[in-house]
């Protein structure tokens, strides 16, 4: 009787690829967290550059985009649906009507912890299944539009805004 060597190799490679994609995602989030630890609430209220988004807006934006992964990946409903109107579908209002920097720091930790818990339990089959913004028909033609692909692209989104948030720190 032959052992399924090829299937086993495939499974190992899937695990390896998932590890690569999740590592990139975690790395970018960890860099944001480390930066936040060095920035005061006052610094976060400032603009990242003249007439550009404030730190508080970019943090709220990253939180609500990460929060949106819950429904997109079939993991549940958003924790903070009230943030969408302030930080996703509207530009930076430059006023202080929304949550405080302190509240957003708490949300940032919460959503990252919740996503990590989910991600650590997801099987390779789940990662390579379709996400909820692609139809079954399109997914059949474009199998790269899976859940793991979302994570690869969202890591780049986080990195993009991290490059802006660092401008709040010391020169």
List of residues contacting a copy of itself (CB under 8 A): 4, 6-7, 9-10, 13-14, 16-17, 19-21, 23-24, 27-28, 48-52, 128, 143-144, 146, 148-149, 152-153, 155-157, 159-164, 167, 171
Least CB distance from residue 126 to a copy of itself, whole Å? 14
Least CB distance from residue 82 to a copy of itself, whole Å? 26
* Alpha-carbon gap, residue 86 to 64, rounded angstroms: 9
Which of 86, 165 has the CB closer to a copy of itself?
A: 165
Least CB distance from residue 75 to a copy of itself, whole Å? 20
CB-based burial, 6-23: b 16+ in 10 Å, e otherwise: eeeeeeeebeeebeebbe
Which of 4, 136 has the CB closer to a copy of itself?
A: 4
Which of 102, 163 has the CB closer to a copy of itself?
A: 163
Residues 6+ apart with CB under 8 A from 151: 21, 22, 25, 119
Which of 111, 151 has the CB closer to a copy of itself?
A: 151
Least CB distance from residue 9 to a copy of itself, whole Å? 6
* Alpha-carbon gap, residue 94 to 20, rounded angstroms: 38
Q: How many Cβ atoms sit within 10 Å of the Cβ of residue 65?
A: 19
């Amino acid at each position: 009787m032959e052992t399924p060597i090829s299937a086993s190799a495939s499974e190992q490679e899937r695990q390896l690829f998932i590890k690569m994609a999740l590592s990139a995602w975690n790395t970018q989030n960890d860099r944001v967290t480390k930066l936040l630890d060095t920035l005061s609430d006052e610094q976060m209220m400032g603009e990242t550059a003249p007439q550009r988004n404030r730190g508080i807006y970019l943090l709220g934006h990253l939180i609500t985009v990460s929060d949106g992964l819950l429904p997109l990946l079939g993991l549940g409903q958003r924790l903070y649906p009230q943030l969408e109107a302030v930080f996703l579908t509207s530009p930076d209002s430059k006023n202080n009507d929304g949550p405080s920097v302190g509240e957003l720091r708490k949300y940032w930790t919460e959503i990252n912890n919740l996503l990590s818990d989910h991600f650590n339990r997801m099987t390779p089959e789940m990662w390579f299944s379709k996400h909820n913004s692609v139809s079954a028909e399109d997914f059949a033609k474009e199998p790269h539009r899976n859940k793991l692909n979302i994570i690869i692209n969202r890591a780049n989104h986080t990195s993009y805004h991290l490059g802006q948030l660092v401008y709040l720190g010391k020169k």
